A and B are shown apart, each in its own frame.
Chain A
């Protein structure tokens, strides 16, 4: 059963029970009160008859005649009955020999009258009797006149009181029906309204479960369900963010794998192709030399790719020990190698390093500088110059590698740190690149808490700056 149906049924059940019990109690109480009133009236009437009879008793004693007694009693009864003729009042007077002295009842008197038992002078007994369709209240007392006991029965028709009760009940039944119907209608909307937010929450949860993680629930209410809704939204937000992040990571990895496969398979295709061509076709000296050259250079490319890749993997795994070192010393160490690299391409290289002691990882800095200079060399044409400057500026130690080469297009500048990205799309491979250099530099910079800035103009050259921001402690050692 649904929650709103539970609320609905339960509240209706409770309402019907309580409403009916309360109403019946009210009806019964007012009925009892009215009945009690009728009885009291009847009793007081009885007493008043009794007292008027008592007032005559001394006179009757004087006469002491039965006939006279009975005439007087009949007259009193008549008078009384006439006075109250419209109120359904009846009198019955019998003497001690059970003879009726007076009776104006329009119904036969019941044969057995239990109220007469144990009846003595000075007390009044009363009883309610159903006579056919009517209810009659009998009040009885005994009056002693000249040693004869007369039984006075004063009767009152109280059917109206009972009729009243029936009327009230039937009226109540109508009200009950109307109230219940009204309540059911109102309660239907109320219970639906209360549970609508739950339904909405439920639907949203289902939509999210189907993989639509950007779905949110909109609840205006400020009650517990409203709070649940906003908590639910918060949860969905976190889940969505997490999933997006995972997807992004996954895409990045997929892109890396795709690029890596491409970079791996391209030289392999050449190597396998040429090797197979050379071994299966007729010897031709020119083709033979060409082919071997391709095999050699492509194999070298694979070698450099594998080395770069190992650098990259290493950078992501290891914990590095930083030591305070002079940047210039490291540069002096690798200067000969850099100059050799530049000489091969017939490019001049100028080094100008300011003294600076920084927390550095020696081998990583070498990798960083090799890669930056290598990139600059790839972009440069023969007879151009590459400058490597390092200097203090505003508390930061700056390392700049400046070339006069082909530059990087503006559209590519934000992609250059992506693994395997190469600005030179023609992929003529004259320069043995795999597009991993800057990705490695980025990692090295991250490890040192440094930032790499690239400033490039197409056909005018590129400046790559590495900004080292030494921690205050290290800085105070340098500038006491």
Chain B
């Protein structure tokens, strides 16, 4: 079942771009534009996660946070303010994470995933067409047959799956798979993509995006 995420953001453009990014990862989303509506919505429906803007009309994010604490739903704050006070205040109120605008889509997705995993809401088996990936066992199976992948190939596959339909640059791949302190060449990414395509039969699905990098498409 798809995870349901409530987006509480008064700026419709920002709300929509968040929704679009989350939808790419098959999250179900509901958008509300003020605190009171959000509170009403929470009374009626169950959500796995709330993305909550701080400066929203009627009931601001901090006030809403107090009210929704009893529901035990994880919350990620979105805010334009970068002050330490706001961060501390947000986290003290029980928010699980804090994002300062403007933010990148992959950062948002990564944090959503991290929070969901912390609450045990994350699927431990990810399916993509004919491929099944067991995140706990670090095992990749194609139609019942396990496939041998090197650790880096496996990590690269997971990053692709978690950012499905979004193109990532070679630098982003290097950063996520090899770690920030790895000063390898971007060709390393190309090599691993090449071998992933071959081993998993993803020639069509892993697209090379001109001037950017690669994208896994379903």
* B-binding residues in A (CB < 8 A): 258, 261-262, 264-266, 268-274, 276-277, 279-282, 287, 294, 298, 425-429
Q: Are B11 and A280 in contact (CB under 8 A)?
A: no
Q: How far is the CA of A279 from the CA of B57 in the complex (A)?
A: 32
- Across the interface, do B166 and A281 meet the contact criterion of CB distance under 8 Å? yes
- Let me know if B10 and A426 touch, CB within 8 A: yes
Q: Which listed residue, A265, A270, A277, A282, touches B105 by the CB 8 Å rule?
A: A277
Distance A287 CA – B33 CA, assembled complex (angstroms):
21
Q: How far is the CB of B49 from chain A (nearest CB, A)?
A: 18
B180 within 8 A of A: no
Residues of B close to A266: CB separation below 8 A: 11, 14, 80, 101
Please, which residues of chain A bring their CB within 8 A of the CB of B128?
none
Q: List 22 A-B contacts (CB under 8 A).
A: A261-B80, A262-B81, A265-B102, A268-B101, A269-B80, A269-B101, A270-B11, A270-B13, A273-B14, A273-B17, A273-B105, A277-B17, A277-B20, A279-B167, A281-B215, A282-B165, A294-B17, A425-B57, A425-B58, A426-B57, A429-B11, A429-B12
Check B168 for interface membership: any CB of A closer than 8 A: yes
- Bound Cα distance A269, B51 (Å): 15
Instruction: Note all chain B residues with C-beta closer than 8 A to A429.
Output: 11-13
Chain A residue, CB-CB nearest to B53:
A266
Measured between C-beta atoms, what is the minimum distance from A245 to chain B in Å? 23
Please give, as numbers and ranges, the residues of chain A lying within 8 Å of B10 by CB-CB distance: 426-427
Contacts of B33 in A (CB 8 A): 426
- Residues in B with CB closer than 8 Å to A428 are 12
What sequence of 0s and 1s flags, for each residue 162-178 of chain B, a beta carbon within 8 Å of any chain A beta carbon?
00011110000000000
Q: Which residues of B contact A426 (CB under 8 A)?
A: 10, 33-34, 57
- Asked if B81 and A258 make an inter-chain contact with CB atoms under 8 angstroms apart, the answer reads yes
- Interface residue total, chain B, C-beta cutoff 8 A: 33
B 74-107 binary contact with A (CB < 8 Å = 1; else 0): 0000001110000000000000000011111100
State the Cβ distance, A433 to closest chain B Cβ, in Å. Answer: 13
Do A427 and B57 form a contact, CB below 8 Å, given A266-B14, A273-B14? Answer: yes
A280, B14: Cβ atoms closer than 8 Å: no
Contacts of A282 in B (CB 8 A): 165, 215, 217
A-B interface, 5 closest residue pairs, ranked by CB to CB distance from nearest: A273-B17, A280-B167, A265-B80, A270-B13, A269-B102
Chain A residues lying within 8 Å of B167, measured Cβ to Cβ, are 279-281
Query: Is B125 interfacial (CB-CB < 8 Å)?
Result: no
Least CB separation from B105: chain A residue? A276
Give the contacting residue for A269; candidates B14, B57, B168, B212; CB below 8 A.
B14
The reply on B110 being an interface residue by CB < 8 A is no
Residues of A near B81 (CB, < 8 A) are 258, 261-262
Knowing A273-B102, A273-B105, A280-B167, the reply to whether A262 touches B80 (Cβ < 8 A) is yes
Q: What CA separation (Å) do A426 and B36 show in the bound complex?
A: 12
Q: Does B135 contact A (CB under 8 A)?
A: no
Q: Of B13, B14, B103, B209, which is in contact with the most chain A CB atoms at under 10 Å from its CB?
A: B13
Does B24 touch A at the CB level, under 8 Å? yes
B168: chain A residues within 8 A (beta carbon): 280
Q: Which chain A positions have C-beta within 8 A of B102?
A: 265, 268-269, 271-273
Whether the pair A261, B82 counts as a contact (CB closer than 8 A) is yes
The docked-state distance in angstroms from the alpha carbon of A294 to that of B24 is: 19
Q: How far is the CB of A277 from chain B (nearest CB, A)?
A: 6
**What's the nearest-Cβ distance from chain A to residue B218, in Å?**
10
A273 to B24, CA, bound (A): 14
Q: Contact flags (1/0) for B1-16 with A, using CB distance below 8 Å?
A: 0000000001111101
B65 sits at the interface (CB 8 A)? no
Question: How long is the Cα–Cα vector from A427 to B11 in the complex, in angstroms?
Answer: 6
- Residues from chain B with a CB closer than 8 A to the CB of A298 are 13
Complex contact B166–A280 (CB within 8 A): yes
Whether B215 contacts A269 by the Cβ 8 Å rule is: no
Q: How far is the CA of A265 from the CA of B34 in the complex (A)?
A: 19
**Which A residues are CB-close (under 8 A) to B13?**
270, 273-274, 294, 298, 429
B156 interfacial by beta-carbon distance below 8 Å: no
How many angstroms from the CA of A405 to the CA of B106 in the assembled complex? 43
Contacts of B217 in A (CB 8 A): 282
Indicate if B18 sits at the interface (CB-CB under 8 A): yes
Checking A272, A281, A427 against B104 with a beta-carbon cut-off of 8 angstroms, the contacting residue is A272
- B21 located at the interface, meaning its Cβ lies under 8 Å from any Cβ of chain A in the complex: yes
A276: chain B residues at CB < 8 Å are 104-105
Contacts of A269 in B (CB 8 A): 11, 14, 17, 80, 101-103
Shortest Cβ distance from B218 into A: residue: A282
Docked Cα-Cα span, A298 to B81, in Å, equals 19
Which residues of the other chain, B, contact A277 by a CB distance below 8 angstroms?
Answer: 17, 20-21, 105
Which residue of A is nearest B10, CB measured? A427
Say if the beta carbon of B55 comes within 8 Å of chain A.
yes
Residues from chain B with a CB closer than 8 A to the CB of A272 are 102, 104
B55 / chain A contacts, CB cutoff of 8 Å: 262
Tell me the bound Cα distance from A211 to B104 in angstroms.
44
Closest to A428 in B: B12
A283 vs chain B, min Cβ distance (A): 11
B209, A280: Cβ atoms closer than 8 Å: yes
Given contacts A272-B102, A294-B16, 11 further A-B contacts (CB under 8 A): A266-B11, A269-B14, A271-B102, A273-B13, A274-B13, A276-B104, A279-B212, A426-B10, A426-B34, A427-B57, A429-B11
CA distance A272 to B166 in the complex (A): 15
Expressed in whole angstroms, the Cα–Cα distance for A65 and B119 within the complex equals 152
Name which of A269, A274, A281 has the most chain B CB atoms within 10 A of its CB. A269
